[in-house]
Amino acid sequence: MTRQDPHSRITDRILAELEQGTRPWLKPWSGGDMAASGQIRPLRATGQPYRGINVLLLWIEAQAAGFVSPSWMTYRQAQALGAQVRKGEHGATVVYYGDSTRTVHDDASGEDREQGFRFLKTYTVFNVAQIDGLPERFHIVPEPMPEVERIEAAEAFFASIPATVNHGGDKAYYIPSADRIQLPPFAAFHDAHGYYATRGHETVHWTRHESRLDRSFGREKWGDEGYAREDISPNWALPS
């Protein structure tokens, strides 16, 4: 069996999320139990936040499993703390980029020289919810964030638009067949701006209905050029 390279595994995982209509890097809200944590970026065992693609990868894993804690660590890090990953638990793959050098032979000069290159390695981490025996500090979940204040002008603006909007769940989308917008609860968003920007995005999709602008951009199926034009064009945000 051929082992899939890290780039392909990461790409396949992100594409799988996209096929389900989820774009984690654009979500200004928390899903499921993660809303209680008030955390935005996943944390290492040291408490330092992850960066780059690892943030997205761990967001996806936490969302799928409903993990409350933002903290992750390797199997050996857990053991060093006197803890143990529970039998049967599956970890999340994260990546590490580094720099190194190698000796190469220069045919033109006939001499060896050092050549720099970048490499990517993968390793596995576990959420603290998958580990028994950790110190208490890893199980402290921040208090839920108080609901942010609504923006009166934005509320009035959207109230003037005759769109049907339902709140619930952890996804935002517009359903043409039902002519309805679905949004997560206001309290699930990290800030008021994120809520109104998301509602505005879906409201622009709402204008495509055949009873309004009857807009298709030639869209025939999910992911084609017409779909891309329709989905990218409404990426606007409210002025601060």
Give me the percent of the chain exceeding a pLDDT of 70.
70
Of 238, 58, 181, 185, nearest in space to 130 by CA: 58
pLDDT of residue 93 exceeding 60, the answer is yes
> Is residue 86 scored above 90 in pLDDT?
yes
Residue spans per domain, the chain:
6-139, 152-232
What is the predicted pLDDT for the residue at 38?
42
Residue 93's contacts (CB-CB under 8 Å, 6 or more residues apart) are: 6, 9, 10, 57, 122, 123, 124
Q: Is the dihedral of CA 108, 111, 117, 122 positive or negative?
A: positive
Q: What percent of the chain has pLDDT over 90?
A: 27
Average confidence (pLDDT) over 45-58:
87
pLDDT higher than 90, residue 155: yes
Give the count of alpha carbons within 13 A of 103, CB side only: 3
